[in-house]
Amino acid sequence: MSIEMNDEDQAVILLNSLPKPYENFVDTLKYGRQTIKLEEIEAAIIAKDVESRSNGKTDAEGLIVRGRTEKKWFKRNGNGNNRSRSKSKPRSLKCYHCHKEGHFRRDCPERKNKKRQDSESENGDADVVSEGYESADVLIALEMDASKEWVLDSGCTFHMTPNKQLFDTFQSLDAGKVLMGNNACCKVAGIGSVKLKLHDGMVKTLTDVRYIPDLKRNLISLGVLDSNGYCYKAQNGVLKVMKGSMVVMKAEKRNGLYLLNEVAIIGTVAVAAPKILDKTTLWHRRLAHVSEKGLMELSKQGLLCGDKLDKLSFCDHCVYGKMIRVKFNVAKHCTQSILDYIHSDLWGPSRHVSMGGYRYFMSIIDDYSLRVWIYFMKTKDETLQKFKDWKVMIENQSGKRVKRLRTDNG
């Protein structure tokens, strides 16, 4: 079967595989942070191991020295209140932040200086988020600037935005759907170009930008930029997009995202769009999408401020609101004995071949006893023969016959 493990799952498996002496250390890493990254967990485990070995050597030397000192002190004074200190040789420690030796990551001066600079640069604006803020503050800040900021994303296949007013050129069309990270599908309602005013005052045009109304953020695809001859490099919390030796875009890393604080020029599509709704549509929406007949009746009674109403245009929201989902009737069947009703299904092909070379499997379930049989197959055409073999076997063992078989014709 095909199983994909993300970075967080691998980190949790690594933590759970540590021995019992690391129990408190594991709890701190698992429940002391909101997200778990495999790279950070590996660095923390290595640092913990080096620190444990260093402390173990120091403690051992301290016990030996103190034991010898106490023995001499007993001979002189007859009591054991003396305390001595031992000095152990400094270990060659390596910082996993600056990659220099002599200190741990938590004591790294470069890391402390960066945190201090980040806190000093905080000016109270909504688009500035420091690491010390609560998660609620971060979410509020991100939500407020979602329409202005552009996220440089390596996971999207093309540029996309939910803001129609940003388009300079626009064509309404049904361009399929986009599969999001949570397996939800969002409809592509159009395609066009968007102009961005960059940090140096230059204007850059993004072409083939998809208009997705259900999207929450403006996304720039790094894959598309790479296909167009651009290269990008991330270092010290800044991602630079370059064309040759010239820096075209600069994005700062905030809350794990590379955000591009460029000004999007309002496109001609938004300028040409009507600013004010007609009176009929406006009253229709104000009165909770009342019918056209109801609007005319209210207008005759003079309850609409004397506004003259025309024929009501088509309203998408009314159509969507009146739609109902088609119900699926519950299948009813009563089985009195085994093999009266058999369910079967075929799964495959798997992207990864098993050790035995199998890529398919067929499941057979008896509705009465709920017993399950699984047959693995290398190719799909083995299905019929596997079922015939099962049918002969089960009918000989039970002395009964298969009466009904249900499949999805797969």
- In order, the DSSP letters of 66-80 are HHHHHHHHHHHHS--
Every domain of the chain with CATH number 2.40.70 lies at 140-270
The backbone region for 216, taken as left when phi is positive above 0, alpha when psi lies in -120 to 50, beta otherwise, is: alpha
Q: List the one residue out of 338, 380, 379, 345 whose CA is nearest residue 364.
A: 345
Q: Is the pLDDT of residue 68 over 60?
A: no
Q: Which pLDDT band, with edges at 50, 70 and 90, does 77 fall under?
A: very low
| Catalytic residue selected from 9, 49, 153, 200 | 153
Q: What is the pLDDT of residue 2?
A: 59
Query: Which part of the chain is CATH 3.30.420.10?
Result: 342-406
CB atoms inside a 10 Å sphere around CB 200? 10
Mean pLDDT of the chain: 76
**In the predicted structure, residue 86 carries a pLDDT above the cut 90:** no
Choose from 92-101, 126-135, 295-304, 317-326 the range with maximum mean pLDDT. 295-304
User: pTM for this one?
Assistant: 0.34
- Which residue in 86, 107, 91 sits closest to 50, CA to CA? 91
Token pair of 406 as six digits: 């249900």
CA–CA gap between residue 52 and residue 46 (Å, rounded): 10
Whole-number Cα distances in Å, 215 to 29, 30, 212, 310, 360: 33, 31, 6, 34, 37
The most confident of 31-35, 120-124, 248-252, 280-284, by mean pLDDT: 280-284
Neighbours of 79 (CB within 10 A): 9
- The closest of 279, 270, 285 to 306, measured between CA atoms, is 279
Give the pairing of strands 177-179 and 342-347: unpaired
130, 210, 227, 263 from 160: Cα distances, Å:
27, 4, 16, 16
Q: Which has more confidence, 409 or 71? A: 409
Domain 140-270 has CATH 2.40.70: yes
400 in Cβ contact with 338 (< 8 Å): yes
Which residues, including other chains, have CB under 8 Å from residue 61's CB and lie 6 or more apart? 86, 88
CB neighbourhood size of 164 (10 A): 17
Sheet holding 372-377, edge to edge: 372-377, 360-366, 342-347, 405-406
Backbone angles phi, psi at 240, to 5 degrees: -110, 130
**Cα–Cα dist 258/2, whole Å:** 32
What pLDDT is attached to residue 87?
Answer: 42
200 is catalytic: no
Tokens describing residue 135: 């998660």
Q: Which residues contact 66 (CB under 8 A, 6 or more apart)?
A: 83, 84, 86
Q: In this predicted model, which residue has the larger pLDDT, 254 or 362?
A: 362
Residues 59-82 have a mean pLDDT of 39
Distance between CA 238 and CA 118 in Å, rounded? 13
Kindly tell me if the per-residue pLDDT of 135 is higher than 60: no
In this prediction, residue 309 carries a pLDDT of 84
Q: Are 375 and 362 in contact (CB under 8 A)?
A: yes
Provide mean pLDDT across the span 257-265. Answer: 71
Ramachandran category for residue 204: left, alpha or beta (phi over 0 → left; psi -120 to 50 → alpha): beta
Taking the C-alpha atoms of residue 88 and residue 264, their distance in angstroms, rounded to an integer, is 60
pLDDT in tens, 143-201: 445 566 888 888 888 898 988 888 888 888 887 888 776 667 888 889 999 888 776 66
pLDDT-wise least confident of 108-122, 334-348, 390-404: 108-122
Residue labelled with tokens 């016990």: 63
* Rg value, the chain, Cα: 34
Options 3.30.420.10, 3.90.1150.10, 3.90.1170.50, 3.40.50.850; CATH for 342-406 is 3.30.420.10
In this predicted structure, what is the pLDDT of residue 268?
58
Per the model's pLDDT, the better-predicted residue between 129 and 85 turns out to be 85
Is 360 a residue whose pLDDT tops 90?
yes
- The pLDDT of residue 82 is above 50: no
- Mean pLDDT throughout 203-224? 87
